[in-house]
Amino acid sequence: MSERFSEDEQALADANASFYAAFEHKSLAEMGDVWAAASPVSCIHPGWGLLVGRDAVLESWRQIFESTVSARCRLRRPRLFVAGDVGWVVLVEELALVHEPADHVHALVLATNTFLREGGRFRMVHHQAGPPPEAELSEPTDVPPPHTLH
C-alpha cells in the first residue's frame, strides 16, 4: 500500500493501524502509546458519553479490555486526511467482539480518528464512533438521502 500514500499519509495510516492493533491486543500499554500525552484528548465510544482527558480515556479502555475476551477489527474504506500537523481517518469498523460469558457481538461502526503530531509522530487526540449511516455501508455517493437533517 505504501506506494499509494505520501509519507504523511503513511505515517497517519500507521498510527491508525496501531490504534486497532492495541484494541485487538487488548494492550493498555499500546493504547497508552497511541493516545497523545501532551495534548488534550477526547473519546466517544458507541453508546457512551464523551470522555475527556487521557486518564478517563485510558480507564475506558481498561474497562473495555477487561470485559472483552477477544476483539477483531476489520477496517472498511479508510479515508485519510492530512493538514500540517493534524491528520484524521474516517472509516467503517467491522467489529467481531467476544464478551464474557460467551456474548458475541458483530457490529458496524462509523469512526473518525483524529491525530496530532507529537514528538514527530501522529498520536490520537479524538476518537468518535457511532452508528454508520446507510450511505457509508454502500458505495460512495454525493446524493443526499430522502430525509436529511443537515
What residues line the site for a copy of itself (CB under 8 A)? 23, 36, 39-42, 44-52, 56, 59-60, 63-64, 67-68, 71, 79, 81-86, 88, 90, 95, 97, 105, 107, 109-110, 112, 114, 116, 125-126, 128-131, 133-136, 138, 140-142, 144-145, 147-150
Cis peptide before 133 (omega within 30 of 0): no
To a copy of itself, the closest distance from the beta carbon of 38 in angstroms equals: 8
Residue 18 identity: S
Distance between CA 145 and CA 118 in Å, rounded?
39
Distance between CA 43 and CA 88 in Å, rounded?
14
To a copy of itself, the closest distance from the beta carbon of 105 in angstroms equals: 6
Q: Which helix (H) or strand (E) holds 59?
A: helix 54-66
Which CB, 25 or 79, lies closer to a copy of itself? 79
Which CB, 34 or 95, lies closer to a copy of itself? 95
In angstroms, how far is CA 11 from the centroid of its own chain? 15
Distance between CA 79 and CA 9 in Å, rounded?
10
To a copy of itself, the closest distance from the beta carbon of 74 in angstroms equals: 14
To a copy of itself, the closest distance from the beta carbon of 3 in angstroms equals: 20
